[in-house]
């Protein structure tokens, strides 16, 4: 019986050692110094739409350049055991997602320099649509128009 307890304790300690602390307060402070917003991408390990968005949008070279220009990117796999600290929150990534009322994946939130959510995106977006949304948030167009109007004006200019 003691051997089983020791085994369970050893495995638990091994798993705990791989868990990290993601301090979004520190990341947000660094973003502010760089005059960048936060882009937090929530996804799940076995989610087909999540995998597709990572492959087709998040990992796309043009999108990566666009993101790195105006944002600090934070990857949040809710199946990981990492802990998150942000404002008054401390807990798992999964509970962190729930604190933003996120229940569907993939989900993306954009947080401005004032540490407030500026835009919340639920579901898969291909690279063209995702690029437009990144532009919408990075130009702070959400202050003066909704996304649909932004897209219409962008199409009109082209």
- Tens of pLDDT, residue by residue over 18-29, are 669 999 999 999
Domains and CATH numbers, the chain: 18-157 (3.40.30.10)
**Residue position matching structure tokens 């009322």:** 101
Mean of all residue pLDDT scores within the chain: 90
Instruction: State the maximum Cα–Cα separation within the chain, in Å, rounded to a whole number.
Output: 73
For the stretch 24-27, contacts whose Cβ atoms lie closer than 8 Å and that sit 24 or more positions apart, written own/partner, are 24/74, 24/84, 24/85, 24/86, 25/85, 25/86, 25/87, 27/72, 27/74
Residue carrying the six token digits 């998150």:
84
- Residue 119's beta-bridge partner residues? 110
Top pLDDT among 3 and 52 is at 52
């Amino acid at each position: 019986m003691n051997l089983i307890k020791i085994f369970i304790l050893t495995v638990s300690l091994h798993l705990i050692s791989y868990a990290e602390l993601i301090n979004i307060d520190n990341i947000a402070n660094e973003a502010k110094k760089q005059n960048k917003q936060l882009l937090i991408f929530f996804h799940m390990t076995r989610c087909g739409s999540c995998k597709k968005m990572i492959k087709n949008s998040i990992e796309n070279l043009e999108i990566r350049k666009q993101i790195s220009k105006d944002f600090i990117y934070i990857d949040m796999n809710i199946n990981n055991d990492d802990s998150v600290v942000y404002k008054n929150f401390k807990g798992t990534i999964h509970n962190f997602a729930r604190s933003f009322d996120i229940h569907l994946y993939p989900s993306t939130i954009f947080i401005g320099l004032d540490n407030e959510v500026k835009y919340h995106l639920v579901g898969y977006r291909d690279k063209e649509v995702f690029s437009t949304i990144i532009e919408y948030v990075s130009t702070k167009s959400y202050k003066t128009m909704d996304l649909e109007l932004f897209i219409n004006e962008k199409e009109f200019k082209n």
